[in-house]
Amino acid sequence: DEQGQPCILTVGFDITPTVRLQRALELSEQSYRAITDNLTIGVALIDTKMRIKAGNIRLSQWFAQEFRLNRSICEILRCDEQVVAARLRGEDVFCRDCPFQASLEDGNGHEKELEISFEDGKEHTARLVTCPVKSSKSQRNKGEVRALIMLLEDITTRLLVNQQLQRARKLEAMSTLAGGIAHEINQPLSALHLYASGLKMLLDKSDSPPRELLRERIDLILEQAKKISEITQHMRSMAIQSATVHE
């Protein structure tokens, strides 16, 4: 001041809006974290170099100590060893039919099924989905993919249930088919039994029955036998066509 004494300048700022915004962001982050951590699928943020930038608890549970930030997702998913080695050397290479590469190139979501070993040491079938995170409109490179969201779902149980359902349906269809075949064959078989019994009775009554009557009864028996043969041939052709379609 005028007397040469040092002065202290006190300036006050109202930071209430900033604090409120920070708290709101923290609550929002906690909410999103609570949601992602309670999902039954693994969620991770992957940069364009295939490095893990964030992930939920599910992935940590599945891969334990292997899952950590800035590690290549290719290592976690145990991709082709040559691809993993090349990425460790800094080369920008991908596996065949890689959904990460596809999303980076066309900016769309892609998915793929793959076999993965989790922490339990067992092989699991997983559904991998990649979703691009694009730059905002205000940025210079509008629409450029700057990161990827990875969704990893364990579908082992679902596939097992589907296989069991398919087997049950096949057994049901076979049961229905067997019932239909039995019904179709039962009628000519009953007729065969009737005609054969009548022929036996005729032979029991007379040692030399009329030839015309014998021929008539034999023709009836042969006619019913032909019907049974046609039914079995039809069933056999249906079975061959079904096997060809499944192949």
pLDDT tens for 40-72 read 889 999 999 999 998 888 888 888 877 888 888
| Residue 140 pLDDT class (50, 70, 90 cuts) | very low
Please give the C-alpha separations between residue 92 and each of 14, 80, 83, 98, 101, in angstroms, as whole numbers: 49, 14, 9, 13, 10
Instruction: Supply 224's token pair.
Output: 């019913």
CA atoms within 13 A on the CB side of 87: 21
**What pLDDT, on the 0 to 100 scale, is given for residue 142?**
53
Lowest mean pLDDT across 115-119, 149-153, 231-235? 231-235
Better-predicted residue by pLDDT, 12 or 236: 12
CB atoms within 10 A of CB 229: 11
pLDDT digits (tens, 9 = 90+) for 199-224: 888 777 877 778 888 888 888 888 88
In one letter, which amino acid is 121? G
User: Which distant-in-sequence residues (6+ apart) come within 8 Å of 189 by Cβ?
Assistant: 224, 228
User: Which distant-in-sequence residues (6+ apart) come within 8 Å of 95 by Cβ?
Assistant: 74, 79, 80, 83
Residue whose token pair is 């065949």: 96
* Stretch 78-87: mean pLDDT: 82
Work out the mean pLDDT of the chain and round it to a whole number.
Answer: 83
In one letter, which amino acid is 47? D
pLDDT digits (tens, 9 = 90+) for 147-187: 999 999 999 888 888 888 888 888 887 777 777 777 778 88
DSSP state of 122: -
Q: Considering only CA atoms, which of 57, 130, 68 is closest in space to residue 98?
A: 130
**What pLDDT, on the 0 to 100 scale, is given for residue 246?**
56
- Checking if the pLDDT of 134 tops 50, the result is yes
Q: Is the pTM of this model over 0.75?
A: no
Tell me the three state secondary structure of residue 8: coil
Q: How many residues does the chain have?
A: 247
d(CA 216, CA 81): 79
